[in-house]
Structure 1
Amino acid sequence: MNIHKKTKLTPYHKQEVGRLYHKEKITVTYLAKRYNKTYPSEILYVDTKCLYLLKNQTKQQAREYLFVGIDDFSRELYASIYPDKSQFSSAQFLQNDVLGPMPLYH
């Protein structure tokens, strides 16, 4: 039975997993069911990254920021570059670049 070494289980859960594995031949992958999303944007991962300066740019020039969003339902990636990492840019990214082109599933 393969359980990752950093998996935290209570003594009860350890006994239950061991019982299911040895007596009923149920594997750990069967017990660890993946969560299922039912609609787009139910779980949305968003991250930002400060872009590096190119060779011809100086440190006095404004940096640009890459905004990336991934919809966990459809696995679609949305990315845009903004001049700053402010609340306004974050809201604009979500409204215009993520939720705007996102398809609606009924």
Structure 2
Amino acid sequence: MTGFDERQSSFENKFKHDKELEFKATARRNKLLGLWAANLLGIHGAEAETYAKTVVKADFEKPGDQDVVDKLMADFKQHGVDMSDHRLRKQMTELMGTAIEQIRAEI
């Protein structure tokens, strides 16, 4: 293998690793977000865990975060929880930081 091939392979492996970590962090963030939302919705215990899983699954519908935002905003509206798009997205950003820290601690 030439030096160029080794570098290319190294970059490909790093890209793959970074994408895997990004996927894990997003899934973890969505779970944390689901637990946060469940608390606001008055859902606790095992039901909160189940609800959080529905938030994680919602992210697989379309690329990006809009599907998660749409699900949560609809649930908040249905249960009479006052929530703004801005507040929800701010919480998503904060929980992404938490998710990344948790994943790094596990590695």
Scaled by the length of structure 1, what TM-score is found? 0.27
Q: Which has the higher strand share?
A: 1
- The structure number with the bigger radius of gyration is 1
Structure with the bigger RCO (C-alpha within 8 Å, sep 6+) is 2
Scaled by the length of structure 2, what TM-score is found? 0.27
Q: Which has the higher helix share?
A: 2
